[in-house]
Chain A
Amino acid sequence: MANVPTDLKYAKSHEWVRVTGDLATIGITDHAQHELTDIVFVELPQVGRKVKAGDACAVVESVKTASDVYAPVSGDVVEANKAAVDDPALVNREPFGGGWFFKVKLANPAELDALLTPAQYAAQISVA
Protein backbone atom coordinates (compact mmCIF):
# COMPACT_ATOMS: atom_id res chain seq x y z
CA MET A 1 0.00 0.00 0.00
CA ALA A 2 1.41 3.39 -1.00
CA ASN A 3 2.67 5.90 1.52
CA VAL A 4 0.09 8.61 2.42
CA PRO A 5 1.65 11.21 4.79
CA THR A 6 -0.81 12.59 7.29
CA ASP A 7 0.40 16.22 7.20
CA LEU A 8 -0.71 16.78 3.57
CA LYS A 9 -3.90 17.38 1.64
CA TYR A 10 -4.69 15.51 -1.57
CA ALA A 11 -6.44 15.93 -4.90
CA LYS A 12 -8.44 13.14 -6.56
CA SER A 13 -5.99 13.43 -9.47
CA HIS A 14 -3.12 12.24 -7.22
CA GLU A 15 -1.42 15.53 -6.40
CA TRP A 16 -0.50 16.41 -2.79
CA VAL A 17 -0.35 19.85 -1.15
CA ARG A 18 1.87 20.93 1.78
CA VAL A 19 0.83 24.30 3.21
CA THR A 20 3.26 26.65 4.99
CA GLY A 21 1.63 30.04 5.68
CA ASP A 22 0.27 31.22 2.34
CA LEU A 23 2.60 28.99 0.29
CA ALA A 24 1.50 25.62 -1.11
CA THR A 25 4.10 23.08 -2.25
CA ILE A 26 2.66 20.63 -4.77
CA GLY A 27 3.82 17.25 -6.04
CA ILE A 28 2.50 13.85 -7.10
CA THR A 29 1.81 11.07 -4.61
CA ASP A 30 3.67 7.84 -3.97
CA HIS A 31 0.71 6.00 -5.52
CA ALA A 32 1.04 8.10 -8.68
CA GLN A 33 4.79 7.59 -9.05
CA HIS A 34 4.34 3.88 -8.45
CA GLU A 35 1.73 3.66 -11.22
CA LEU A 36 4.01 5.53 -13.62
CA THR A 37 7.31 3.87 -12.56
CA ASP A 38 10.34 5.01 -14.61
CA ILE A 39 9.66 8.77 -14.75
CA VAL A 40 11.83 10.15 -17.57
CA PHE A 41 10.60 13.73 -18.05
CA VAL A 42 9.03 16.49 -15.97
CA GLU A 43 7.70 19.73 -17.43
CA LEU A 44 6.84 22.46 -14.91
CA PRO A 45 4.85 25.71 -15.15
CA GLN A 46 6.74 28.98 -15.58
CA VAL A 47 7.37 30.99 -12.45
CA GLY A 48 4.91 33.88 -12.50
CA ARG A 49 2.12 31.90 -14.14
CA LYS A 50 -1.33 32.27 -12.57
CA VAL A 51 -3.00 28.90 -12.15
CA LYS A 52 -6.58 28.06 -11.21
CA ALA A 53 -7.54 24.98 -9.25
CA GLY A 54 -8.08 22.19 -11.77
CA ASP A 55 -5.79 23.64 -14.48
CA ALA A 56 -3.45 21.17 -16.16
CA CYS A 57 -0.19 22.98 -15.49
CA ALA A 58 2.60 20.39 -15.53
CA VAL A 59 3.42 17.16 -17.32
CA VAL A 60 5.09 14.00 -16.07
CA GLU A 61 6.18 11.33 -18.52
CA SER A 62 7.19 7.74 -17.93
CA VAL A 63 8.68 5.42 -20.54
CA LYS A 64 5.22 4.46 -21.71
CA THR A 65 2.90 7.40 -20.92
CA ALA A 66 2.53 11.15 -20.64
CA SER A 67 0.32 12.39 -17.79
CA ASP A 68 -1.01 15.82 -16.94
CA VAL A 69 -0.50 17.21 -13.46
CA TYR A 70 -3.26 19.52 -12.20
CA ALA A 71 -3.06 22.51 -9.87
CA PRO A 72 -5.00 21.54 -6.71
CA VAL A 73 -5.27 25.20 -5.70
CA SER A 74 -5.30 28.64 -7.36
CA GLY A 75 -2.50 31.18 -7.16
CA ASP A 76 0.77 32.45 -8.65
CA VAL A 77 3.55 29.95 -9.33
CA VAL A 78 6.49 31.27 -7.27
CA GLU A 79 8.96 28.40 -7.64
CA ALA A 80 9.52 25.37 -9.91
CA ASN A 81 11.71 22.46 -8.80
CA LYS A 82 14.70 22.37 -11.18
CA ALA A 83 16.04 19.26 -9.40
CA ALA A 84 13.03 17.27 -10.65
CA VAL A 85 13.54 18.56 -14.20
CA ASP A 86 17.24 17.64 -14.12
CA ASP A 87 16.70 14.23 -12.51
CA PRO A 88 13.15 13.01 -13.23
CA ALA A 89 13.79 9.75 -11.34
CA LEU A 90 13.91 11.88 -8.16
CA VAL A 91 10.13 11.99 -8.37
CA ASN A 92 10.04 8.18 -8.14
CA ARG A 93 12.55 8.14 -5.26
CA GLU A 94 11.17 11.04 -3.17
CA PRO A 95 7.63 11.88 -4.32
CA PHE A 96 6.83 13.81 -1.11
CA GLY A 97 10.32 15.24 -0.53
CA GLY A 98 12.96 16.23 -3.06
CA GLY A 99 10.65 15.30 -5.98
CA TRP A 100 8.18 18.17 -5.40
CA PHE A 101 6.98 19.96 -8.54
CA PHE A 102 6.14 23.63 -7.89
CA LYS A 103 5.07 26.15 -5.24
CA VAL A 104 2.06 28.44 -5.42
CA LYS A 105 1.17 31.55 -3.41
CA LEU A 106 -2.39 30.75 -2.38
CA ALA A 107 -4.98 33.05 -3.92
CA ASN A 108 -7.88 31.44 -2.05
CA PRO A 109 -6.96 29.36 1.06
CA ALA A 110 -10.61 28.22 1.36
CA GLU A 111 -9.96 25.92 -1.60
CA LEU A 112 -7.91 23.69 0.73
CA ASP A 113 -11.16 22.55 2.36
CA ALA A 114 -12.28 21.04 -0.94
CA LEU A 115 -9.24 18.77 -1.06
CA LEU A 116 -9.14 15.22 0.31
CA THR A 117 -7.87 14.37 3.77
CA PRO A 118 -5.17 11.69 4.04
CA ALA A 119 -7.85 9.19 5.11
CA GLN A 120 -10.07 10.05 2.15
CA TYR A 121 -7.16 9.76 -0.32
CA ALA A 122 -6.01 6.47 1.20
CA ALA A 123 -9.56 5.16 0.80
CA GLN A 124 -9.65 6.29 -2.82
CA ILE A 125 -6.43 4.49 -3.76
CA SER A 126 -7.21 1.34 -1.83
CA VAL A 127 -10.23 0.62 -4.00
CA ALA A 128 -8.35 1.44 -7.18
Chain B
Amino acid sequence: MLKRTGLFEAHRQLSARLIDFGGWEMPVQYTSIVEEHLAVRNAAGVFDISHMGEITVSGAAAVEFLDFVLTNNTRKLEPGWGQYTLLCNERSGTIDDLYAYRLSGDVFLLVVNASRVAADVAWLHEQAARFPGRSELKVSDASHNYDAVAVQGPRVAAFIDQCIAGPSDMAARVAKVTDLKKNQIAGFRFAGANVLVSRTGYTGEDGFEIVGRGDTITQVWQHLLDRGQSSGIKPCGLGARDTLRTEVCYPLYGHELDETATPIEAGLGFFVALDKGEFIGRSVLAEQKAKGVRKRLVAFKMTGRSAPPRPHYPIWSSGSDAHPMGIVTSGTQSPSLVMGIGMGYLPPELAKPGTEIGIEIRGKQSPAVVVAKPIYRKPV
Protein backbone atom coordinates (compact mmCIF):
# COMPACT_ATOMS: atom_id res chain seq x y z
CA MET B 1 0.00 0.00 0.00
CA LEU B 2 1.58 3.27 -1.14
CA LYS B 3 1.76 6.27 1.18
CA ARG B 4 -0.31 9.32 0.29
CA THR B 5 0.27 12.95 1.20
CA GLY B 6 -2.47 15.23 2.46
CA LEU B 7 -2.79 16.59 -1.07
CA PHE B 8 -3.70 13.23 -2.64
CA GLU B 9 -7.37 14.18 -3.09
CA ALA B 10 -6.31 17.48 -4.68
CA HIS B 11 -4.16 15.55 -7.18
CA ARG B 12 -7.02 13.21 -7.99
CA GLN B 13 -9.39 16.12 -8.57
CA LEU B 14 -6.89 17.62 -11.00
CA SER B 15 -6.72 14.25 -12.86
CA ALA B 16 -3.03 13.86 -12.09
CA ARG B 17 -1.21 10.87 -13.49
CA LEU B 18 0.03 9.10 -10.34
CA ILE B 19 3.12 6.91 -9.93
CA ASP B 20 4.97 5.08 -7.19
CA PHE B 21 7.83 7.33 -6.09
CA GLY B 22 9.84 5.71 -3.30
CA GLY B 23 6.73 4.20 -1.74
CA TRP B 24 4.59 7.33 -2.17
CA GLU B 25 1.71 7.70 -4.63
CA MET B 26 2.72 10.99 -6.27
CA PRO B 27 1.75 12.97 -9.37
CA VAL B 28 4.27 12.66 -12.22
CA GLN B 29 2.27 15.11 -14.35
CA TYR B 30 -1.13 16.78 -14.49
CA THR B 31 -1.23 17.80 -18.17
CA SER B 32 2.16 17.58 -19.83
CA ILE B 33 5.68 17.56 -18.40
CA VAL B 34 6.83 20.09 -21.00
CA GLU B 35 3.90 22.42 -20.29
CA GLU B 36 4.43 22.24 -16.53
CA HIS B 37 8.18 22.76 -16.87
CA LEU B 38 7.69 25.84 -19.08
CA ALA B 39 5.08 27.23 -16.67
CA VAL B 40 7.75 27.25 -13.93
CA ARG B 41 10.34 28.87 -16.21
CA ASN B 42 7.94 31.54 -17.51
CA ALA B 43 5.27 32.05 -14.85
CA ALA B 44 4.69 29.86 -11.78
CA GLY B 45 4.22 26.26 -10.73
CA VAL B 46 3.32 24.57 -7.46
CA PHE B 47 4.63 21.14 -6.40
CA ASP B 48 3.55 18.79 -3.61
CA ILE B 49 6.79 18.00 -1.73
CA SER B 50 5.13 16.49 1.33
CA HIS B 51 6.97 13.22 0.83
CA MET B 52 10.22 14.92 1.87
CA GLY B 53 11.43 14.44 5.44
CA GLU B 54 11.74 16.95 8.27
CA ILE B 55 14.11 16.24 11.15
CA THR B 56 14.49 18.60 14.11
CA VAL B 57 17.78 18.83 15.97
CA SER B 58 17.67 20.91 19.14
CA GLY B 59 19.50 21.69 22.36
CA ALA B 60 22.59 23.60 23.41
CA ALA B 61 24.82 21.06 21.63
CA ALA B 62 22.81 21.10 18.39
CA VAL B 63 25.02 23.48 16.43
CA GLU B 64 28.22 21.66 17.45
CA PHE B 65 26.67 18.28 16.61
CA LEU B 66 25.42 19.37 13.19
CA ASP B 67 28.74 21.01 12.39
CA PHE B 68 30.33 17.62 13.09
CA VAL B 69 27.96 15.48 10.99
CA LEU B 70 27.34 17.89 8.08
CA THR B 71 29.94 19.08 5.55
CA ASN B 72 29.00 22.76 5.34
CA ASN B 73 29.79 25.38 7.99
CA THR B 74 26.76 25.09 10.28
CA ARG B 75 28.16 27.45 12.91
CA LYS B 76 27.94 30.41 10.58
CA LEU B 77 24.17 29.93 10.13
CA GLU B 78 22.31 32.72 11.88
CA PRO B 79 18.74 32.14 13.10
CA GLY B 80 16.41 32.55 10.13
CA TRP B 81 18.92 31.21 7.59
CA GLY B 82 19.41 27.90 5.81
CA GLN B 83 22.15 26.30 3.77
CA TYR B 84 22.58 23.40 1.35
CA THR B 85 24.76 20.75 2.96
CA LEU B 86 25.62 17.05 2.89
CA LEU B 87 25.66 14.19 5.35
CA CYS B 88 28.64 11.85 4.84
CA ASN B 89 29.83 8.61 6.34
CA GLU B 90 33.43 8.06 7.53
CA ARG B 91 34.56 7.15 4.01
CA SER B 92 33.01 10.41 2.81
CA GLY B 93 30.34 8.53 0.88
CA THR B 94 27.20 10.66 0.72
CA ILE B 95 24.34 9.55 2.96
CA ASP B 96 22.12 12.43 1.83
CA ASP B 97 22.07 15.99 0.53
CA LEU B 98 19.74 18.33 2.36
CA TYR B 99 18.95 21.82 3.59
CA ALA B 100 19.75 22.75 7.19
CA TYR B 101 17.80 25.71 8.64
CA ARG B 102 18.52 27.43 11.92
CA LEU B 103 15.17 28.42 13.40
CA SER B 104 16.65 29.79 16.63
CA GLY B 105 19.93 29.54 18.56
CA ASP B 106 19.23 25.97 19.64
CA VAL B 107 16.71 24.68 17.11
CA PHE B 108 17.50 23.38 13.63
CA LEU B 109 15.25 21.92 10.96
CA LEU B 110 16.72 19.54 8.39
CA VAL B 111 14.74 18.99 5.19
CA VAL B 112 15.86 15.72 3.62
CA ASN B 113 15.12 13.50 0.62
CA ALA B 114 12.03 11.31 0.89
CA SER B 115 14.01 8.21 -0.04
CA ARG B 116 16.58 8.82 2.72
CA VAL B 117 14.51 9.77 5.77
CA ALA B 118 14.98 6.42 7.49
CA ALA B 119 18.71 6.26 6.68
CA ASP B 120 19.28 9.85 7.83
CA VAL B 121 17.37 9.44 11.09
CA ALA B 122 19.18 6.19 11.90
CA TRP B 123 22.57 7.75 11.20
CA LEU B 124 21.84 10.91 13.21
CA HIS B 125 20.61 8.89 16.20
CA GLU B 126 23.69 6.68 16.01
CA GLN B 127 26.02 9.69 15.92
CA ALA B 128 24.08 11.55 18.62
CA ALA B 129 24.34 8.55 20.95
CA ARG B 130 28.11 8.82 20.96
CA PHE B 131 28.39 12.60 20.80
CA PRO B 132 30.08 14.15 23.84
CA GLY B 133 27.36 16.78 24.25
CA ARG B 134 24.53 14.24 23.87
CA SER B 135 22.78 15.19 27.11
CA GLU B 136 22.04 18.58 25.55
CA LEU B 137 21.00 17.23 22.18
CA LYS B 138 17.70 15.96 20.81
CA VAL B 139 17.13 14.51 17.35
CA SER B 140 13.50 13.93 16.27
CA ASP B 141 11.99 12.65 13.06
CA ALA B 142 9.09 15.06 12.54
CA SER B 143 8.29 13.98 8.95
CA HIS B 144 4.88 12.53 9.75
CA ASN B 145 3.83 15.87 11.29
CA TYR B 146 4.37 17.93 8.17
CA ASP B 147 3.28 18.35 4.60
CA ALA B 148 4.95 20.84 2.26
CA VAL B 149 4.65 22.56 -1.10
CA ALA B 150 7.13 24.36 -3.33
CA VAL B 151 5.96 27.31 -5.41
CA GLN B 152 8.47 28.35 -8.05
CA GLY B 153 8.74 30.75 -11.00
CA PRO B 154 9.40 34.38 -11.90
CA ARG B 155 5.81 35.46 -11.19
CA VAL B 156 5.48 33.95 -7.71
CA ALA B 157 6.66 37.13 -6.01
CA ALA B 158 3.69 38.93 -7.61
CA PHE B 159 1.05 36.97 -5.70
CA ILE B 160 2.52 35.08 -2.74
CA ASP B 161 2.11 38.01 -0.32
CA GLN B 162 -1.65 37.83 -0.99
CA CYS B 163 -1.61 34.13 -0.03
CA ILE B 164 0.49 34.27 3.12
CA ALA B 165 0.37 37.55 4.95
CA GLY B 166 3.21 38.99 6.99
CA PRO B 167 4.78 39.94 9.26
CA SER B 168 6.68 36.81 10.28
CA ASP B 169 6.65 35.79 13.94
CA MET B 170 9.50 33.27 14.07
CA ALA B 171 13.08 32.79 12.79
CA ALA B 172 13.78 35.60 10.25
CA ARG B 173 11.84 38.78 11.09
CA VAL B 174 10.37 40.24 7.92
CA ALA B 175 7.33 42.36 7.11
CA LYS B 176 6.22 40.09 4.27
CA VAL B 177 7.12 36.83 2.53
CA THR B 178 8.75 38.56 -0.43
CA ASP B 179 11.12 40.36 1.93
CA LEU B 180 12.81 37.00 2.60
CA LYS B 181 16.21 36.79 0.96
CA LYS B 182 17.33 33.64 -0.77
CA ASN B 183 17.97 30.94 1.85
CA GLN B 184 16.09 32.75 4.60
CA ILE B 185 13.31 31.02 6.53
CA ALA B 186 10.55 32.49 8.69
CA GLY B 187 7.37 31.46 10.49
CA PHE B 188 4.09 33.02 9.41
CA ARG B 189 0.45 32.59 10.45
CA PHE B 190 -1.91 31.13 7.88
CA ALA B 191 -5.54 30.21 8.53
CA GLY B 192 -4.97 30.14 12.26
CA ALA B 193 -1.92 27.86 12.08
CA ASN B 194 1.86 28.19 11.75
CA VAL B 195 3.74 27.68 8.53
CA LEU B 196 7.45 27.93 7.79
CA VAL B 197 8.37 29.65 4.54
CA SER B 198 11.87 29.55 3.03
CA ARG B 199 13.11 31.26 -0.10
CA THR B 200 14.59 28.10 -1.57
CA GLY B 201 13.85 25.63 -4.34
CA TYR B 202 14.98 22.89 -6.67
CA THR B 203 14.21 24.47 -10.03
CA GLY B 204 16.69 27.32 -10.64
CA GLU B 205 13.84 29.87 -10.45
CA ASP B 206 12.90 32.26 -7.64
CA GLY B 207 10.49 30.57 -5.30
CA PHE B 208 9.46 29.46 -1.85
CA GLU B 209 9.00 26.22 0.05
CA ILE B 210 6.23 26.10 2.65
CA VAL B 211 6.07 23.55 5.47
CA GLY B 212 3.15 23.05 7.84
CA ARG B 213 0.51 20.63 9.13
CA GLY B 214 -1.40 18.59 6.54
CA ASP B 215 -4.71 20.41 6.56
CA THR B 216 -2.98 23.82 6.57
CA ILE B 217 -0.83 22.91 3.56
CA THR B 218 -3.90 21.70 1.67
CA GLN B 219 -5.32 25.20 2.10
CA VAL B 220 -2.02 26.83 1.12
CA TRP B 221 -1.98 24.73 -2.10
CA GLN B 222 -5.49 25.83 -3.01
CA HIS B 223 -4.81 29.46 -2.15
CA LEU B 224 -1.70 29.50 -4.33
CA LEU B 225 -3.59 28.02 -7.28
CA ASP B 226 -6.40 30.56 -6.82
CA ARG B 227 -4.29 33.69 -6.29
CA GLY B 228 -1.73 32.66 -8.87
CA GLN B 229 -4.26 31.95 -11.59
CA SER B 230 -4.01 35.35 -13.26
CA SER B 231 -0.21 34.94 -13.21
CA GLY B 232 -0.49 31.62 -15.03
CA ILE B 233 0.25 29.21 -12.16
CA LYS B 234 0.03 25.48 -12.88
CA PRO B 235 0.17 22.43 -10.62
CA CYS B 236 3.39 20.59 -11.48
CA GLY B 237 4.45 17.00 -10.94
CA LEU B 238 7.63 15.02 -10.42
CA GLY B 239 8.30 14.82 -14.16
CA ALA B 240 8.71 18.58 -14.45
CA ARG B 241 10.58 18.66 -11.13
CA ASP B 242 13.14 16.33 -12.69
CA THR B 243 13.55 18.20 -15.99
CA LEU B 244 13.85 21.52 -14.17
CA ARG B 245 16.54 20.38 -11.75
CA THR B 246 18.48 18.53 -14.49
CA GLU B 247 18.67 21.72 -16.57
CA VAL B 248 20.36 23.55 -13.69
CA CYS B 249 22.47 20.51 -12.70
CA TYR B 250 21.10 20.01 -9.20
CA PRO B 251 21.92 16.50 -8.01
CA LEU B 252 19.28 13.92 -7.16
CA TYR B 253 20.15 11.39 -4.46
CA GLY B 254 20.29 7.94 -5.95
CA HIS B 255 21.60 9.37 -9.22
CA GLU B 256 24.50 11.85 -8.83
CA LEU B 257 24.86 11.09 -5.13
CA ASP B 258 24.93 7.85 -3.19
CA GLU B 259 27.23 6.19 -0.69
CA THR B 260 29.81 5.50 -3.43
CA ALA B 261 30.12 9.18 -4.41
CA THR B 262 31.72 11.96 -2.38
CA PRO B 263 30.65 15.61 -2.51
CA ILE B 264 34.00 16.50 -4.12
CA GLU B 265 33.49 13.94 -6.93
CA ALA B 266 29.99 15.37 -7.43
CA GLY B 267 31.39 18.88 -7.86
CA LEU B 268 29.91 20.12 -4.57
CA GLY B 269 33.18 21.21 -2.92
CA PHE B 270 31.69 24.66 -2.38
CA PHE B 271 29.45 23.09 0.29
CA VAL B 272 32.32 21.33 2.06
CA ALA B 273 33.98 23.55 4.67
CA LEU B 274 37.29 21.75 5.06
CA ASP B 275 38.70 24.52 7.25
CA LYS B 276 35.96 24.49 9.86
CA GLY B 277 37.56 21.76 11.96
CA GLU B 278 36.85 18.06 12.31
CA PHE B 279 33.73 16.53 10.81
CA ILE B 280 32.72 13.05 9.63
CA GLY B 281 34.30 12.33 6.26
CA ARG B 282 36.78 15.21 6.41
CA SER B 283 39.94 13.21 5.86
CA VAL B 284 38.87 11.63 2.55
CA LEU B 285 37.49 14.94 1.30
CA ALA B 286 40.70 16.77 2.20
CA GLU B 287 42.73 14.15 0.36
CA GLN B 288 40.50 14.39 -2.70
CA LYS B 289 40.79 18.17 -2.70
CA ALA B 290 44.57 17.94 -2.48
CA LYS B 291 45.27 14.97 -4.74
CA GLY B 292 42.32 14.92 -7.09
CA VAL B 293 39.52 12.44 -7.72
CA ARG B 294 39.18 9.34 -9.87
CA LYS B 295 35.78 10.31 -11.18
CA ARG B 296 34.15 13.67 -11.65
CA LEU B 297 30.53 14.66 -12.30
CA VAL B 298 30.10 16.42 -15.63
CA ALA B 299 27.22 18.01 -17.47
CA PHE B 300 26.75 17.36 -21.19
CA LYS B 301 24.58 18.22 -24.19
CA MET B 302 23.78 16.03 -27.17
CA THR B 303 25.27 17.58 -30.32
CA GLY B 304 23.12 16.07 -33.02
CA ARG B 305 19.52 15.03 -33.31
CA SER B 306 19.24 11.97 -31.08
CA ALA B 307 17.10 10.19 -28.59
CA PRO B 308 17.38 11.73 -25.12
CA PRO B 309 20.18 10.47 -22.85
CA ARG B 310 18.90 8.53 -19.84
CA PRO B 311 20.29 7.27 -16.52
CA HIS B 312 22.62 4.24 -16.81
CA TYR B 313 23.47 4.79 -20.50
CA PRO B 314 27.24 4.31 -20.93
CA ILE B 315 29.40 7.32 -21.81
CA TRP B 316 32.21 6.67 -24.27
CA SER B 317 35.31 8.68 -25.09
CA SER B 318 35.35 9.77 -28.72
CA GLY B 319 37.75 9.20 -31.59
CA SER B 320 39.23 6.08 -33.16
CA ASP B 321 40.14 4.52 -29.81
CA ALA B 322 36.73 5.06 -28.24
CA HIS B 323 36.03 3.20 -24.99
CA PRO B 324 33.21 3.18 -22.47
CA MET B 325 34.54 5.47 -19.74
CA GLY B 326 31.63 6.47 -17.56
CA ILE B 327 27.90 6.44 -16.99
CA VAL B 328 24.94 8.79 -17.29
CA THR B 329 23.37 9.58 -13.89
CA SER B 330 20.56 11.86 -15.08
CA GLY B 331 19.34 12.65 -18.58
CA THR B 332 16.34 13.98 -20.41
CA GLN B 333 15.13 16.04 -23.31
CA SER B 334 15.40 19.63 -22.03
CA PRO B 335 12.07 21.41 -22.51
CA SER B 336 13.75 24.83 -22.30
CA LEU B 337 16.66 24.07 -24.66
CA VAL B 338 14.92 21.49 -26.89
CA MET B 339 17.90 19.16 -26.87
CA GLY B 340 19.12 16.12 -24.95
CA ILE B 341 21.03 17.01 -21.77
CA GLY B 342 22.37 15.15 -18.79
CA MET B 343 24.97 14.57 -16.13
CA GLY B 344 27.29 11.67 -15.54
CA TYR B 345 30.57 10.53 -14.06
CA LEU B 346 33.78 10.49 -16.12
CA PRO B 347 37.50 10.22 -15.33
CA PRO B 348 38.98 13.69 -14.72
CA GLU B 349 40.85 13.70 -18.04
CA LEU B 350 37.53 13.67 -19.92
CA ALA B 351 35.79 16.15 -17.64
CA LYS B 352 36.80 19.43 -19.27
CA PRO B 353 34.02 21.44 -20.96
CA GLY B 354 34.42 21.07 -24.71
CA THR B 355 35.45 17.40 -24.52
CA GLU B 356 33.64 15.34 -27.14
CA ILE B 357 32.01 12.17 -25.85
CA GLY B 358 29.54 9.58 -27.05
CA ILE B 359 26.38 8.45 -25.29
CA GLU B 360 25.51 4.84 -26.02
CA ILE B 361 21.81 4.66 -26.83
CA ARG B 362 20.38 1.27 -27.88
CA GLY B 363 23.81 -0.01 -28.83
CA LYS B 364 24.85 2.98 -30.97
CA GLN B 365 26.92 6.07 -30.14
CA SER B 366 25.25 9.46 -30.27
CA PRO B 367 27.65 12.41 -30.15
CA ALA B 368 27.64 14.76 -27.18
CA VAL B 369 29.93 17.35 -25.59
CA VAL B 370 30.87 18.11 -21.99
CA VAL B 371 29.62 21.57 -20.95
CA ALA B 372 30.03 23.80 -17.91
CA LYS B 373 27.33 23.76 -15.26
CA PRO B 374 24.57 24.84 -15.18
CA ILE B 375 23.43 23.63 -18.61
CA TYR B 376 20.52 26.10 -18.59
CA ARG B 377 21.05 29.69 -17.57
CA LYS B 378 18.24 32.21 -17.37
CA PRO B 379 18.43 34.66 -20.29
CA VAL B 380 19.58 38.02 -18.92
Interface bracket on B: 10 to 19
Once the chains are docked, how many angstroms separate the CA of A64 from the CA of B32?
Answer: 11
A80, chain B: closest CB distance, angstroms: 14
A112, chain B: closest CB distance, angstroms: 30
Docked-complex contact B333 and A63, CB < 8 angstroms: yes
Once the chains are docked, how many angstroms separate the CA of A63 from the CA of B17?
Answer: 14
Docked-complex contact B306 and A41, CB < 8 angstroms: yes
Docked-complex contact A59 and B307, CB < 8 angstroms: yes
Once the chains are docked, how many angstroms separate the CA of A41 from the CA of B310?
Answer: 13
Tell me which residues across on chain A come within 8 A of B31, comparing CB atoms.
37
A66 at the interface (CB under 8 A from B): yes
How many residues belonging to A are interface residues under a CB distance threshold of 8 Å?
Answer: 12
A40 at the interface (CB under 8 A from B): yes
Residue in contact with A41 in the complex, picked from B33, B239, B243, B333, CB distance below 8 Å: B333
Tell me which residues across on chain A come within 8 A of B307, comparing CB atoms.
41, 43, 59, 61, 66
Interface of A is mostly: strand
Q: How many A-B residue pairs have CB under 8 A?
A: 35
Once the chains are docked, how many angstroms separate the CA of A37 from the CA of B335?
Answer: 13
Cβ-closest 8 pairs across A and B:
A40-B333, A63-B33, A41-B307, A38-B34, A37-B32, A38-B33, A38-B32, A61-B307
Tell me which residues across on chain A come within 8 A of B335, comparing CB atoms.
63
Fill in one digit per residue for A4-43: 1 if any B CB lies within 8 Å of its CB, else 0.
Answer: 0000000000000000000000000000000001101101
Docked-complex contact B362 and A64, CB < 8 angstroms: no
From A66, which residue of chain B is reached at the shortest CB distance? B307
B332 at the interface (CB under 8 A from A): yes
Docked-complex contact A63 and B310, CB < 8 angstroms: no
From A85, which residue of chain B is reached at the shortest CB distance? B305
Given contacts A37-B29, A38-B32, A38-B33, contact A66 B310 (CB under 8 A): yes
A69, chain B: closest CB distance, angstroms: 13
Once the chains are docked, how many angstroms separate the CA of A73 from the CA of B262?
Answer: 52
Docked-complex contact B362 and A63, CB < 8 angstroms: no
Tell me which residues across on chain B come within 8 A of A61, comparing CB atoms.
307-308, 333
